[in-house]
């Protein structure tokens, strides 16, 4: 494992060995079986290229009504619980005993991307955001708090973990593209990103 800091983002390269990547992939597959991935629609009516589901008390959702956290999947059910393997990573990299309240699961198929944005729908920004990458490589762009600020990019690979804390907690970031087929971890190819957040901070 190598740890580097880029634009205030802490990046743990090769944080997860292959056996943990496989365990995580299987645990996330079980979550997606209970709470199927959907193609979210932005408040502007655009269908996102990334498909999403979630685990934990809250899922992050978007539709014509806006971006927000919801205690329910679109089907009306509550979200599955966050897999232990995911919680272990959170506690290890943050050193916090407080657990995350949302485990957002993004799936990037061929051609999917995520525009530059801030994670700012939480009630509290006092806690770090942790993101875990699995499967195909993704080109991750990192900026600062200004939309048009200078950015730097890095290829995130399967098993890499990123922590956005302190000054980087509200920094712009996004995924410009993936290298479809660069990893064999996911049976149908593509990239999974797991994003862990404290939403209310109340516990
Ligand atoms: O896919 C990624 O690496 C980042 C995902 C992200 O920024 C988000 O879900 O808010
Ligand atoms: Mn984000």
Q: How far is the CA of 100 from the centre of ligand 2 (A)?
A: 15
- Give the number of the atom of ligand 1 that is nearest the alpha carbon of residue 129: 10
Q: What is the mean pLDDT of residues 32-59?
A: 98
Is ligand 1 within 6 A of the CB of residue 104? yes
Q: What is the mean pLDDT of residues 27-53?
A: 98
Is ligand 1 within 6 A of the CB of residue 172? no
**Domain 2-197 falls under CATH 2.60.120.590:** yes
Strands 9-13 and 161-164: antiparallel
- Residue 202, pLDDT score: 82
Q: How far is the CA of 97 from the centre of ligand 1 (A)?
A: 23
> Does the predicted model carry a pTM greater than 0.85?
yes
> If pLDDT is split at 50, 70 and 90, which confidence band does 197 have?
very high
**Whole-number Å distance between alpha carbons of 159 and 183:** 11
- Residue 171, pLDDT score: 98
Q: How far is the CA of 104 from the centre of ligand 1 (A)?
A: 9
Is ligand 1 within 6 A of the CB of residue 24? no
Higher-confidence position of 41 and 202: 41
Q: What is the mean pLDDT of residues 95-99?
A: 97
For all residues of the chain together, what is the average pLDDT? 97
Segment 117-171, tens digit of pLDDT: 999 999 999 999 999 999 999 999 999 999 999 999 999 999 999 999 999 999 9
Q: Does 112 have pLDDT greater than 90? A: yes
Is ligand 1 within 6 A of the CB of residue 195? yes
- Residue 201, pLDDT score: 87
- Residue 80, pLDDT score: 98
- Residue 203, pLDDT score: 59
């Amino acid at each position: 494992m190598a740890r580097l800091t880029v634009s205030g983002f802490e990046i743990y390269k090769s944080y997860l060995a292959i056996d943990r990547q496989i365990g995580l992939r299987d645990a996330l597959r079980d979550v997606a079986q209970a709470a199927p991935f959907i193609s979210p629609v932005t408040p502007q009516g655009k269908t996102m290229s990334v498909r999403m589901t979630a685990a934990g008390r809250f899922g992050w959702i978007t539709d014509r009504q806006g971006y927000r956290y919801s205690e329910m999947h679109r089907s009306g059910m509550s979200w599955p619980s966050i897999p232990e393997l995911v919680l272990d990573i959170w506690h290890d990299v943050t050193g916090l005993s407080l657990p995350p309240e949302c485990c957002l699961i993004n799936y990037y198929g061929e051609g999917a991307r995520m525009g530059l944005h801030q994670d700012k729908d939480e009630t509290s920004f006092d806690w770090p955001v942790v993101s875990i990458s699995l499967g195909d490589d993704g080109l991750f762009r990192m900026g600062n708090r200004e939309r048009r600020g200078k950015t730097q990019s890095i290829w995130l690979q399967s098993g890499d973990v990123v922590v956005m804390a302190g000054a980087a907690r509200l920094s712009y970031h996004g995924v410009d593209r993936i290298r479809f087929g660069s990893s064999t971890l996911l049976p149908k190819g593509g990239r999974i990103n797991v994003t862990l957040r404290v939403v209310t901070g109340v516990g």
